Amino acid sequence: MKKIILVPNPNKDESLMVTAAVIKKLLSLGFLPCLERKFVEVEKSGAEMFDTPPADAELLIVLGGDGSVIDASRLAIGLDIPLLGINLGKVGYLSEVETQNIDVLDRLATGDYKIENKMLLTVEKYSSNGAHEVSTRDAVNDVVFSHEDYFGISDFKLENSNGDRLIYRADGLILATPQGSTAYSLSAGGPIVAHDLDSITVTPVCPHSFFNRSIIYGKDECIKISNSGEAVLNVSVDGRLFAKISEGEWCVVKKSDTRIKMLTFCENNMLSVLFKKIKVLDGTV
């Protein structure tokens, strides 16, 4: 029996009712759902409870919003297994399944799905004294540079692999993966990038200059972001603080050697999903 790890978000799934329904569905298909032992609400559901994630699991299913998917991505990457999201959030760009369409999981038993390898970003911090720090988390969506207090203007210097330089004075700077182009970067006015097009999109947040355009760099770029002002900058990876950089310090952001495997049923292309989500948010459907 193939093992599937379930990672529920109790804040999104009260009493784990949706999780219980997914467990029942997977058992009926001949799979063995596995959950961390702390989820006592479902310990009598027929699922296997664990203290340590089973190394022989073949899929990880996340029940929650995009934040839940991002948090669980580290486990999926560590086990080298695909990840599938069931959306319990408001947007759920990273989730493949909606709660009203759980029957689509039937296709797991027939192999009617596709595994897509998504690009990630890695970030490293450098100091003039030679100190060097590498983020333990790769970015599924984005690496963001912002003022230490999250409010206020900061100064950034961007340099690409060819030595081309740009100076930004802005509230922040977003470096996004293709799938991250429909997250914070999109909200800041960045372009929509096809999720299968490996690239790094740089989008300024409320820039205080005439140059306010995003730039899409190739997948092999190494982008150096320096703190060229007096204010300390926060460097966040998918919304989780990685480091602070002071004046004269810098970070290098580039494509990670690691990729995340995402399971898709290919019912919709990326744009149709995006437009559907936008209509729901606008209340037009």
- What positions carry a catalytic annotation? 66
Read off the tokens for 64.
């929650």
Residue 74 to residue 89: CA distance in whole angstroms: 20
- Rounded CA separation 198/255 (Å): 9
Q: Which pair of structure tokens corresponds to residue 162?
A: 């060819």
Look up residue 106 and give its two tokens.
Answer: 């039937």
E runs forming strands in the chain = 3-8, 32-36, 48-50, 59-64, 83-87, 97-98, 114-126, 132-134, 142-147, 154-159, 165-170, 172-176, 199-205, 215-218, 222-227, 233-237, 240-245, 250-264
Q: Which helix (H) or strand (E) holds 103?
A: none
Structural contact between residues 83 and 72, judged by C-beta atoms closer than 8 angstroms: yes
Q: What spatial distance separates the first Cα and last Cα of the chain, rounded to whole Å?
A: 40
